Amino acid sequence: MKYLDEYRNPQAISKIADEIARTASRPWTIMEVCGGQTHAIVKFGLEQLLPDDLELVHGPGCPVCVTSLAVIDRALDLAARPEVIFCSFGDMLRVPGSSRDLLSVKATGGDVRAVYSPLQAVKIAEDNPGREVVFFAIGFETTAPANAMAACLARRRGLRNFSLLVSHFLVPPAIEAICTAPDCRVQGFLAAGHVCAIMGYRQYLPLAERFRIPIVVTGFEPLDILEGILLCVRQLEQGHYGVENQYVRTVQEAGNARARQMVEEVFDVDNQDWRGVGAIPDSGLRLRPAYSQFDARLRFPNETTPPADDSGCISGEIMQGRRKPAECPYFAGRCRPEHPLGAPMVSTEGACAAYYRYRKAEIVDEH
Amino acid sequence: MCLGIPGQIEQVTDSAPLERSGVVRFGGICKQVNLAYVPEAGVGDYVIVHVGFAISRVDEAEARRVFDYLAEIGDLEHELGPAAPPAQHKEKGAEQ
Ligand code: SF4
């Protein structure tokens, strides 16, 4: 497929890997923020192509993984209501809440439907005027324009039976939180290309400046990721700390103006709780008051105290780059894709799922 | 759910501002995609599609840039023997 295959060409990949090896004179630690990149790195074995002392640490950029337990439990509650059709991206269905997951709600009679686009949920609401349709609107900046459009179209079409359970996350405040952590080891970042396709990358300039850290906007194919690493290593070697754009074919400096306008119209910034990581100020989105009739939290009020996460899952450590999935005592033992203890074992962008799928044999050997 | 996949616009079917949509081909698979956020993209253009929405048009000239760079640091055809392929794993169909 065009724009995929050529970026997976083995000769081209090893050429960039060689260039990285020639450029790096010292150990460096680089974080790829986005789970999509983590998946590609593990799938294509990119770490094995890098110098031994160039470490990639995996960041928190998996919306399925960071959606808080309280929100998952709220989703489970809503999905179990007889009047509700609960629509969610498929990845979310097996994420464990405090006592069960959406699939088990479905198995006991809940009307839970996997959708690949929020517009499908809008359509389901139009086709089922007698039912309440709730869409689980999770995501980072990349997904926000799509979820915002669903709310906007529902309002235009006068839908009274559609609402969103919003769990949205913003990348720059997470980078800031990672950089201010006292034990931060990260020396450079690969920023998520598709987040920047929407938002542009001006937001990263003050971060690079303040933390004196290079940030390279990077795509998702092996060649993109290695080129992103190369640009980052070059900056590190030269003592630079700027924002660079590797993913020029897709990302413009100002992002996508129309998409940003739609996000602005529907959402405003809010504090957000990240599963395993904790609260980060101004790192989430909520519906603006003009859209409050589409807020599932207001439509189905339900005050419960959020439970404590006592599964033993160390996803927070993993998503802040402090530990690797293989260091989790439950990896491939009590925690497997068939019975996950934590979300990173479920999601396609989850680091644990990627390690399980592509590197389990080697890890289990080491143990 | 978070991936974005490149595909080629085959047809633009609805051009109302918010509902501009069309058919996008990903290898062998075609899907109806909302094109409201890429008003500049038309039939034949490549776009990145995420959860049913085109979020960006792929710039063809920029897409060649990395290959020009690779050509610069050495001719691809004149490797010292075959390069080791990266550890690739089989995967069914398109990812979503
Ligand atoms: S292996 Fe399972 S329990 Fe351990 S961090 Fe990953 S998801 Fe959590």
DSSP structure string for A68-134: -HHHHHHHHHHHHSTTEEEEEEGGGGG---SS--HHHHHHTT-EEEEESSHHHHHHHHHH-TTSEEE
What pLDDT does residue A305 have? 65
Helix or strand holding residue B53 (H, E)? strand B53-57
Kindly provide the residue ranges of all beta strands, DSSP E only, lying in A140-245, ordered along the sequence.
162-169, 188-192, 215-218, 243-245
Test A63 with B2 for CB contact under 8 angstroms: yes
Question: Does A342 contact ligand 1 (Cβ within 6 A)?
Answer: yes
Residue A361 has pLDDT above 50, yes or no: yes
What pLDDT does residue A9 have? 83
A153 at interface of B, judged by CB pairs closer than 8 A: yes
Q: Which of A51-60, A122-131, A333-342 has the highest mean pLDDT?
A: A122-131
Give the Å distance between the CA of A266 and the centre of ligand 1. Answer: 34
Give the Å distance between the CA of A352 and the centre of ligand 1. Answer: 6
What pLDDT does residue A304 have? 66
d(CA B18, CA B10): 19
For residues A183 and A323, the answer to whether their CB atoms sit within 8 Å is no
**Is pLDDT larger for residue A34 or for residue B76?**
A34
A234 at interface of B, judged by CB pairs closer than 8 A: no
What pLDDT does residue A320 have? 83
For residues A87 and A115, the answer to whether their CB atoms sit within 8 Å is yes
For residues A132 and A169, the answer to whether their CB atoms sit within 8 Å is no
> Domains (ranges, CATH) in chain B?
6-80 (2.30.30.140)
How many beta-carbon contacts under 8 Å exist across A and B?
Answer: 164
For residues A59 and A34, the answer to whether their CB atoms sit within 8 Å is yes
Q: And the tokens for A113?
A: 């439907």
Looking at every residue in chain A, the average pLDDT score rounds to 92
Using pLDDT thresholds of 50, 70 and 90, give the confidence band for residue B92.
Answer: very low
For residues B38 and B57, the answer to whether their CB atoms sit within 8 Å is yes
Question: Does A315 contact ligand 1 (Cβ within 6 A)?
Answer: yes
**Is pLDDT larger for residue B70 or for residue A215?**
A215
Looking at every residue in chain B, the average pLDDT score rounds to 77
Strand order in A162-169's β-sheet? A111-115, A84-89, A132-139, A162-169, A278-287, A267-274
Using pLDDT thresholds of 50, 70 and 90, give the confidence band for residue B89.
Answer: very low
Which ligand 1 atom is the nearest neighbour of the CA of A346?
7
Test B4 with A223 for CB contact under 8 angstroms: no
| Least confident span in A174-178, A204-208, A336-340 | A336-340
Question: Does A344 contact ligand 1 (Cβ within 6 A)?
Answer: yes
Q: What is the mean pLDDT of residues A185-194?
A: 95
Task: Report the share of chain B in percent with pLDDT over 90.
Answer: 43
Q: And the tokens for B40?
A: 């500049």
Using pLDDT thresholds of 50, 70 and 90, give the confidence band for residue A152.
Answer: very high
Say which residues have a Cβ less than 8 Å from residue B36's Cβ, sequence separation at least 6: A149, A258, B17, B18, B19, B20, B21, B53
Q: What is the DSSP letter of A6?
A: G
Closest partner residue to A152 among B18, B27, B38, by Cβ? B18
| B contacts of A224 (beta carbons < 8 Å) | 66
What separation in angstroms does the CA of A212 have from each of A61, A188, B68?
22, 9, 31
B23 at interface of A, judged by CB pairs closer than 8 A: no
Which residue's CA is the closest to the ligand 1 atom numbered 8?
Answer: A313
What separation in angstroms does the CA of A282 have from each of A193, A277, A332?
21, 14, 35
User: Which phi and psi angles does A26 have, rounded to 5°?
Assistant: -140, 170
Using pLDDT thresholds of 50, 70 and 90, give the confidence band for residue B2.
Answer: low
Q: Which of A308-312, A358-362, B33-37 has the highest mean pLDDT?
A: B33-37
What pLDDT does residue A317 have? 87
User: Which phi and psi angles does A357 have, rounded to 5°?
Assistant: -70, -40
For residues B50 and B71, the answer to whether their CB atoms sit within 8 Å is no
Give the Å distance between the CA of A88 and the centre of ligand 1. Answer: 22
Of A17, A5, A54, give the one whose Cα is nearest residue A32.
Answer: A54
Of A345, A288, A55, give the one whose Cα is nearest residue A190.
Answer: A55
d(CA A324, CA A182): 19
What pLDDT does residue A367 have? 54
- Exposed e or buried b for every residue in A192-229, given b needs 16+ CB within 10 A? bbbbbbbbbbebbeebbeebebbbbbbbbbbbbbbbbb
Q: What is the dihedral of CA B67, B72, B73, B76, to 10 degrees?
A: 60
**Local structure of B13: helix, strand or coil:** strand
**Local structure of A196: helix, strand or coil:** helix
pTM of structure:
0.88
Question: Does A318 contact ligand 1 (Cβ within 6 A)?
Answer: yes
Residue B94 has pLDDT above 60, yes or no: no
**Is pLDDT larger for residue A138 or for residue A1?**
A138
Closest Cα of chain A to B34: distance in Å? 9
Test A143 with B50 for CB contact under 8 angstroms: yes
d(CA A252, CA A130): 44
Test B1 with A92 for CB contact under 8 angstroms: yes
d(CA A111, CA B89): 35
What pLDDT does residue A93 have? 94
Test B52 with A117 for CB contact under 8 angstroms: yes
| A contacts of B30 (beta carbons < 8 Å) | none
Residue A306 has pLDDT above 70, yes or no: no
Question: Does A325 contact ligand 1 (Cβ within 6 A)?
Answer: yes
Q: What is the mean pLDDT of residues A249-258?
A: 95
**Is pLDDT larger for residue A118 or for residue B87?**
A118
Domain segments of chain A: what residues?
1-296+312-367
List all residues of chain A from 48 to 77 with a beta carbon under 8 Å from chain B. 48-49, 61-64
Test A197 with B4 for CB contact under 8 angstroms: yes
CATH superfamily of A1-296+312-367: HypD, alpha/beta domain 2 (3.40.50.11740)
Test B52 with A119 for CB contact under 8 angstroms: yes
d(CA B14, CA A59): 39
